[in-house]
Chain A
Amino acid sequence: GENVEQHPSTLSVQEGDSAVIKCTYSDSASNYFPWYKQELGKRPQLIIDIRSNVGEKKDQRIAVTLNKTAKHFSLHITETQPEDSAVYFCAARTSYGKLTFGQGTILTVHP
């Protein structure tokens, strides 16, 4: 089955800096890669996703890049703000919408 590795497990940045979280996946058949933000005690919320026919996607301060050959994808957050502090999960999808999640990254943005 699919295996997703996510790094780093914790990330601490100063407000205004950029944050980068990286994930690798094992199943070359995976074709959809969402990123979820989860605040304490709340639901995971989709913040951006990318499909395997696209190399990069951007939405305001958030961008995701995908390298299919190397089987890795990354989340980039620019101009970080304290409200960006949360746990971020990457995921990879194979058949029937089944998602395999990475282990999560605790992002802390210091004012």
Chain B
Amino acid sequence: DAMVIQNPRYQVTQFGKPVTLSCSQTLNHNVMYWYQQKSSQAPKLLFHYYDKDFNNEADTPDNFQSRRPNTSFCFLDIRSPGLGDAAMYLCATSRGTQNSNQPQHFGDGTRLSIL
């Protein structure tokens, strides 16, 4: 009964070879987030969608892009992965309005390895 589903759980790619990670949700939440989490560190927000509005964090590398074709799906595209991009990538969703405080629900993550 997973509500935020990430595929694949493990992804191996070659240095410089584009890779796409996917996230889907059954919660009908309007906000979706992508986080990068490296070993022994806190999750770091890369970007989020508030409905269709895309919000990029200032320090997110240009190498990282995202698409949200509909409410349920969100994709993380890494155009030219470098060794430093090896990490766990977490997708999260929440039901958001400007004045509400709703919890974020995380997926199980995709662990990305770069060869």
Residues of A within 8 A of B (CB): 31-32, 34, 36, 41-46, 49, 51, 89, 93, 95-104
Q: Which residues of chain A are near B106, meaning CB under 8 Å?
A: 36, 43-45
Q: Which residues of chain B are near A102, meaning CB under 8 Å?
A: 42
Q: With the chains together, A103 CA to B37 CA distance in Å?
A: 11
Question: Quick check: is B70 within 8 A (CB to CB) of the other chain?
Answer: no
Q: Which of B12-65 contact A (CB under 8 A)?
A: 31, 33, 40-45, 48, 50, 55
Question: Quick check: is B81 within 8 A (CB to CB) of the other chain?
Answer: no
The 8 A-B pairs with the shortest beta carbon distances in the complex, nearest first, are A32-B101, A101-B42, A43-B106, A97-B96, A97-B94, A43-B108, A46-B103, A44-B106
Q: Which residues of chain B are near A49, meaning CB under 8 Å?
A: 101, 103
Q: Which residues of chain A are near B101, meaning CB under 8 Å?
A: 31-32, 49, 51, 93, 97
14 contacts between A and B (CB under 8 A): A41-B111, A43-B107, A43-B109, A44-B106, A49-B101, A89-B42, A96-B31, A96-B55, A97-B50, A97-B96, A97-B101, A98-B48, A104-B40, A104-B41
Q: Which A-chain residue is minimally distant from B40 (CB atoms)?
A: A104
Q: Which residues of chain B are near A31, meaning CB under 8 Å?
A: 101
Q: With the chains together, A51 CA to B103 CA distance in Å?
A: 11
Are A99 and B104 in contact, CB atoms less than 8 angstroms apart? yes
Question: Quick check: is B90 within 8 A (CB to CB) of the other chain?
Answer: yes
Q: Which B-chain residue is minimally distant from A100 (CB atoms)?
A: B45
Q: Which residues of chain A are near B31, meaning CB under 8 Å?
A: 96-97
Q: With the chains together, A43 CA to B23 CA distance in Å?
A: 14
